[in-house]
C-alpha cells in the first residue's frame, strides 16, 4: 500500500538542525528498528517523501505533503518559518520503502518513489484510516486498523546516535 514506514511523535529538539561542517554535513532524521545486533537497523529518513504532521502543546498544528521536496527540507523549513513557534513534535508517514542496501556507515537507504503503484482501494482506505488514527494519537479509537504493510521506526535521540552507528559497524 502507499504507507511504507512511519515515525510517531518524534521530538523536534532531538535533531541537530544545523550541525555545521564539523559534523560531516547535513542534519539527519535517524530512525531505528531494534536496539542491538543483529536486529538493529538504522535509516536516515531525511530524503523520505510522504505526509507529516506538526504537533504543539495542544495537538496537531499543521499537516503537510512532501512529493517534490523531501521530508527533511520541509521540516527544517518549518524551524525557520511562520510555524516555528507552534510545534515541538512531528509524525511522518513515508511513501518510500527501506532497502536492505546500506551506505558506508551501515545505514539502510530508501528506495526511489514508485510511480503509479497498483493498489486496491479498500486497502488504501484502511491505510488512510490508520494514518489518521495514529497521527491523532487515538489509542482508544474503536477501530483496530493497522497499516497494510508499513513498519514503525523509532526516533534516534541525539545522544544515542554515535553509539548506535558504532553498533552497526560491528555487524
Tell me which residue of 144, 138, 146 sits closest to 59, measured CA to CA.
Answer: 138
Span of 35-39, 60-64, 82-86, 116-120 with lowest mean pLDDT: 116-120
Q: Is residue 12 part of a domain?
A: yes
Q: 133-144, pLDDT tens digit by residue? A: 777 775 655 556
Name the residue with cell 488514527. 133
Q: Is residue 125 part of a domain?
A: no
Q: Is residue 89 part of a domain?
A: yes
Q: 13-45, pLDDT tens digit by residue? A: 999 888 876 555 578 999 999 998 888 999 999
pTM of the model: 0.80
How many domains, in total, are found in the chain?
1
Cα distance between residue 91 and residue 77, in whole Å: 16
Q: Is residue 136 part of a domain?
A: no
Structural domain for 53, as ranges: 5-119+150-169
Give the contacts of 115 (CB within 8 A, at least 6 positions apart).
none
Amino acid at each position: 500500500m502507499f504507507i511504507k514506514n512511519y515515525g510517531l511523535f518524534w521530538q523536534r529538539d532531538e535533531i541537530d538542525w544545523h550541525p555545521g561542517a564539523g559534523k560531516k554535513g547535513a542534519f539527519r532524521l535517524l530512525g531505528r528498528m531494534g536496539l542491538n545486533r543483529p536486529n538493529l537497523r538504522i535509516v536516515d529518513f531525511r530524503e523520505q517523501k510522504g505526509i507529516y504532521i506538526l504537533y504543539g502543546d495542544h495537538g496537531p498544528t499543521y499537516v503537510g505533503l512532501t512529493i517534490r521536496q523531501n521530508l527533511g527540507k520541509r521540516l527544517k523549513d518549518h524551524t525557520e518559518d511562520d510555524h516555528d513557534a507552534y510545534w515541538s513534535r512531528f509524525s511522518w508517514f513515508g511513501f518510500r520503502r527501506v532497502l536492505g542496501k546500506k551506505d558506508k556507515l551501515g545505514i539502510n537507504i530508501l528506495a526511489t518513489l514508485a510511480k503509479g503503484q497498483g493498489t486496491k482501494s479498500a486497502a488504501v482506505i484502511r491505510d488512510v484510516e490508520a494514518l489518521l488514527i495514529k497521527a491523532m494519537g487515538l489509542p482508544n479509537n474503536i477501530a483496530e486498523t493497522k497499516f497494510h504493510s508499513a513498519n514503525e521506526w523509532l526516533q534516534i535521540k541525539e545522544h544515542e546516535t554515535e553509539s548506535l552507528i558504532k553498533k552497526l559497524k560491528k555487524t
